[in-house]
Amino acid sequence: MDLSGDGGSEANEASEAEVETPQVVKQQQELTPEPKAPAPLVESAQSFAPLFNDGSGLGAEPGDFFLFIKDYSWTLRYRVSQKEDTVDTERPLLLDWIKLRRPVQQPADLLEIPSSDLFDWNVVEPPRHSGFMYQVTEVVGSGVEAVINFFKNRGPKLLVQQDGVSLVNEEAEELPGKPVTHCWVQCLGLPFLPVLQYIAFLNHDEIVTDWHA
């Protein structure tokens, strides 16, 4: 299966049987060392402060959400898409693959390895594979509920708002969900027939929720 996806909510085709390493696109920019990790989170707009940013002008922007796959050398970034000062309800998230300088073996590596040593922000590739696409399930106030195709019936829905991504509170949907910065995925069968084994949604170093096969 090609682990690249096709950046759009309308793509929900069945997973293909082959993985292709994305063809890279290089941009000539330089990186600088990463600052200290962000301060502890609070339930406010500060919860959406970018986690993976080295202060060089590259890196994550506020509200970005990342998907990491164990032992895979690319990460998928989901960026909030806005239209007329609100979330684009038809295409609330824009996707692109970011090259990693090394495969990541455990979630703790994401916080311990400086962003400049982990991400090659100059190497990006638009996604193509439908499994990493998402479906918009509902427009909720100024936000949009969506589910990533691979996680359908396995993981929670995402609530996409202008300031970032959070999880829908399944027990009380009228209450705000908890912001998430990234998710961690483990699967068997890479690169040809990936089978999901574990999914964890995290807010910096805190596991907000997870799922086991």
Residue ranges of domains in the chain: 55-212
If you search the block for the tokens 């793509």, which residue do you land on? 11
Residues 63 and 24: their CA atoms lie apart, in Å, by 24
Q: List the one residue out of 187, 152, 200 whose CA is nearest residue 19.
A: 187
Quick check: 75 pLDDT over 90?
yes
Quick check: 33 pLDDT over 70?
no
Residues 159 and 81: their CA atoms lie apart, in Å, by 13
Quick check: 26 pLDDT over 70?
no
Note if the bond before 38 is cis, omega within 30 degrees: no
Q: Specify the pLDDT at position 30.
A: 40
Between 119 and 36, the more confident residue is: 119
Q: Is 188 left (phi over 0), alpha (psi -120 to 50) or beta?
A: beta
Residue 179 carries which DSSP code?
A: B
Q: How far is CA 1 from the centre of its chain?
A: 19
Between 7 and 63, the more confident residue is: 63
Confidence class of residue 191 from pLDDT cuts 50, 70 and 90? low
SS3 content of the chain, % helix, strand, coil (to 5): 10, 35, 55
Strand partners, 18: none
Between 22 and 4, the more confident residue is: 22
Tokens of 57: 């002008």
Quick check: 145 pLDDT over 90?
yes
Helix (H, G, I), strand (E, B) or coil at 149: helix
Between 110 and 54, the more confident residue is: 110
Confidence class of residue 172 from pLDDT cuts 50, 70 and 90? low
If you search the block for the tokens 């929670």, which residue do you land on? 156
Q: List the one residue out of 104, 118, 102, 120 whose CA is nearest residue 58.
A: 120
The pTM of the whole model exceeds 0.85: no
Residues 147 and 136: their CA atoms lie apart, in Å, by 7
Confidence class of residue 64 from pLDDT cuts 50, 70 and 90? very high
The pLDDT of 121-148, averaged and rounded, is 89
Q: Specify the pLDDT at position 189.
A: 73
Between 83 and 128, the more confident residue is: 83
Residues 190 and 156: their CA atoms lie apart, in Å, by 24
Tokens of 172: 């009380």
Q: Which amino acid is at 177?
A: G
